[in-house]
């Protein structure tokens, strides 16, 4: 028979999620299934706005209390009045915890781009869209796929958005020269 998940366990799962662990990472860490972690998080019903949710200004201990009260059956209104927190902040906290987190960009060939994007919480899709490069193409460029080399045009688009000099974008490859369109 499976062990019953306690309120304390559920709160720890939420805190893990606040630390940007993926659902799979949390499941592995807690010895649970992906589905159980997903169900626990989805019970928060964090329906925030469609814009990206970047975090919360709430103190970590206060977040613990909010999660604990939620899993003990308190409503947003009850939590709000008991802890003197606006219900919108509670909704934002729950949305942050339940929102899918973007993976960190990695690129051995173009570490300056990956570093820039990760420092600013840019996903591959967001970076590609804002640069005017199809995200699937940008992903292949950053992965070093020989069918998708870093062209001068692509490097200039990235440089224009990020402010990273072309020399730094190309790194060691700069000495060999960029491929032309």
pLDDT tens digit sequence for 55-108? 567 788 999 999 999 999 999 999 999 999 998 888 888 888 887 666 677 787
The answer on 92 and 115 residing in a single domain is no
Of 71, 98, 125, the residue at which a domain comes to its end is 98
Q: Are 175 and 160 in contact (CB under 8 A)?
A: no
Residue 105, domain member (yes or no): no
Residue 80, domain member (yes or no): yes
Of 74, 98, 122, the residue at which a domain comes to its end is 98
The answer on 94 and 18 residing in a single domain is yes
Tokens describing residue 150? 């870093």
Of 44, 77, 98, the residue at which a domain comes to its end is 98
Q: What is the pLDDT of residues 5-23, one digit of tens each?
A: 899 999 999 998 888 788 8
Domain that holds residue 24: 7-98
Cα–Cα distances in angstroms (integers) from residue 52 to residues 48, 148, 168, in the given order? 9, 29, 29
Residue with tokens 């990472």: 25
Residue 64, domain member (yes or no): yes
Cα–Cα distances in angstroms (integers) from residue 115 to residues 2, 35, 65, 86, 118, in the given order? 42, 32, 35, 35, 5
The answer on 28 and 72 residing in a single domain is yes
Residue 1, domain member (yes or no): no
The answer on 72 and 33 residing in a single domain is yes
Residue 51 has pLDDT above 70, yes or no: no
Nearest to 23 by CA among 90, 96, 91, 98: 98
Cα–Cα distances in angstroms (integers) from residue 6 to residues 9, 11, 71, 80, 94, in the given order? 5, 9, 9, 23, 19
- In the chain, the number of structural domains is 2
Q: Residue 52: pLDDT band by 50, 70, 90 thresholds?
A: very low
The answer on 94 and 27 residing in a single domain is yes
**Cα-Cα-Cα-Cα dihedral sign, residues 117, 118, 119, 122:** positive
């Amino acid at each position: 028979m499976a062990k019953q998940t306690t309120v304390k366990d559920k709160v720890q799962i939420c805190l893990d999620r606040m630390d940007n662990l993926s659902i799979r990472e949390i499941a592995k860490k807690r010895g649970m299934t992906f589905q159980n972690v997903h169900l626990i998080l989805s019970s928060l019903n964090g329906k925030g706005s469609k814009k990206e949710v970047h975090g919360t200004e709430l103190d970590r201990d206060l977040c613990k209390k909010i999660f604990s009260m939620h899993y003990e059956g308190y409503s947003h209104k009850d939590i709000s009045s008991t802890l003197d927190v606006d219900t919108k902040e509670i909704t934002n906290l729950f949305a942050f915890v339940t929102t899918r987190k973007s993976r960190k960009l990695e690129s051995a060939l173009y570490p300056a781009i990956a570093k820039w994007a990760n420092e600013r919480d840019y996903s591959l899709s967001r970076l590609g869209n804002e640069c005017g490069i199809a995200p699937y193409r940008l992903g292949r460029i950053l992965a070093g796929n020989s069918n998708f080399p870093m062209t001068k045009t692509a490097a200039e688009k990235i440089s224009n958005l990020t402010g990273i000099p072309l020399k730094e974008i190309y790194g060691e490859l700069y000495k060999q020269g960029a491929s032309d369109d």
